[in-house]
Amino acid sequence: MNQPNNPTREYLAAPISKVGPLAWVKKNLFNTWYNSLLTILTLGALAYIVPPFFKWAFIESLWNSSSDACRDIEGACWSIVPQNIKFIILGFFPEGQEWRPILAMILLLALVIYSKERSRWTKLLAWMWPIGLIIMGTLMYGGVFGMPVVETDQWSGLPLTMMLSFFGMVMAYPLGVLLALGRQSKMPAIKTLSVVYIEMIRGVPLISLLFMSSIMFPLFLPDGMTINKVLRAQVAIIMFTAAYIAEVVRGGLQAMQRGQYEAADSLGLNYPQTMRLIILPQALKIVIPPTVGILLSAFKDTSLVVIIALYDVLKTTKVTLQNPHWTGYSTEAYLFLALLYFICCYAMSSYSRRLEKELHTGH
């Protein structure tokens, strides 16, 4: 501003565009004619959509009322969610026992959150998981400590979704890694088996796998023998996801340089050691982004189990909408579901980004 007035040299003003929010807008939103056009169009569209949506969702809406009260308003009837929350979340879990799935879900969530920090990946944690899972299973199934047995066909809603997707991911990942290693194996039998498995699974949609597991598979079982329906769906999801993980991991393995194998060999490390200590840690890190992509779709695809008559959280919502009191509020119900799915997916992908950053060692 106050520049010393030295006549022997010329003082230039600082380039204006560097300062102020106005300059930022100009630089980023109106720097070329097509960018300006896009900005104006976007603003126009937002002005058209946002105020009515806001009015519908927040101003003329009801948050916790009876369905009758909703008939008289123009806005959103969010009441469908709190009024039916028990059925949407827990489905057909028996009356009076609701605390059990709720406790199981809290336990799972707590374990997941606790496991986020890499500094906690210790032996203790490796024990906590199986113990936690046994407790969760016991809570859900019951039969001990005076808890009545709840058969798996009554498991529904969010606990079912969480279980199918959580086990789907946790079991499919190591299986996929093994398949990827199998596909690279020098032993022809293992290699062929892996290739056939991967290509066969990738050649069919998940829906048909679910159908096969629920309708065709029982035909091959001896009379009187049944395998639990939930378990069959779970296995189908695991098998399906594993094949995709395998291909992604194979990509990571191929990105490894021969020098890494040679260095490991020259130290005298054997094959399992080389893979576990040298190759997989690097290869799996490279493929974190596509792996997370697959895990996210696996999570969302669990909703396909509706077609074999399992009541996951999407199906319980649909059933709620069939209740004559609440038909017509599907937008609200599905927005709620979308939010639920979004929170889970967003948490997963932002965690993966953090992990990626932490594992970066500057090469």
Binding site for other proteins (CB under 8 A): 257, 259-260, 262-270, 273, 277-278, 281-282, 285, 359, 361-363
How far apart are alpha carbons 284 and 286 in whole angstroms?
Answer: 5
For other proteins, the closer of residues 15 and 268 by Cβ is: 268
What's the min distance (Å) between Cβ of 259 and other proteins?
4
Q: 3-state DSSP helix/strand/coil percent for the chain, to nearest 5?
A: 75, 0, 25
Residue with tokens 């203790």: 124
For other proteins, the closer of residues 133 and 256 by Cβ is: 256
What's the min distance (Å) between Cβ of 290 and other proteins?
19
What's the min distance (Å) between Cβ of 251 and other proteins?
18
φ, ψ (nearest 5 deg) of residue 47: -65, -30
| Max CA distance (Å), the chain | 105
Looking at 2-66, list the stretches that DSSP marks H as alpha helix, in order from N- to C-terminal side: 20-29, 33-54
Helices vs. strands in the chain: H and E counts, helices first: 17, 0
How far apart are alpha carbons 280 and 290 in whole angstroms?
Answer: 15
For other proteins, the closer of residues 18 and 357 by Cβ is: 357
What's the min distance (Å) between Cβ of 26 and other proteins?
40
Query: For the CA atoms of 162, 165, 168, 171, what is the dihedral angle to 10 degrees?
Result: -50
Question: Are the C-beta atoms of 160 and 311 separated by less than 8 Å?
Answer: yes
How far apart are alpha carbons 193 and 32 in whole angstroms?
Answer: 56
What's the min distance (Å) between Cβ of 45 and other proteins?
46
What's the min distance (Å) between Cβ of 117 and other proteins?
19
For other proteins, the closer of residues 45 and 277 by Cβ is: 277
What's the min distance (Å) between Cβ of 245 and other proteins?
20
How far apart are alpha carbons 251 and 320 in whole angstroms?
Answer: 44
Query: For the CA atoms of 247, 218, 160, 98, what is the dihedral angle to 10 degrees?
Result: -160
Q: Which of 197, 174, 147, 133 is nearest to 291 (CA)?
A: 174
What's the min distance (Å) between Cβ of 261 and other proteins?
9
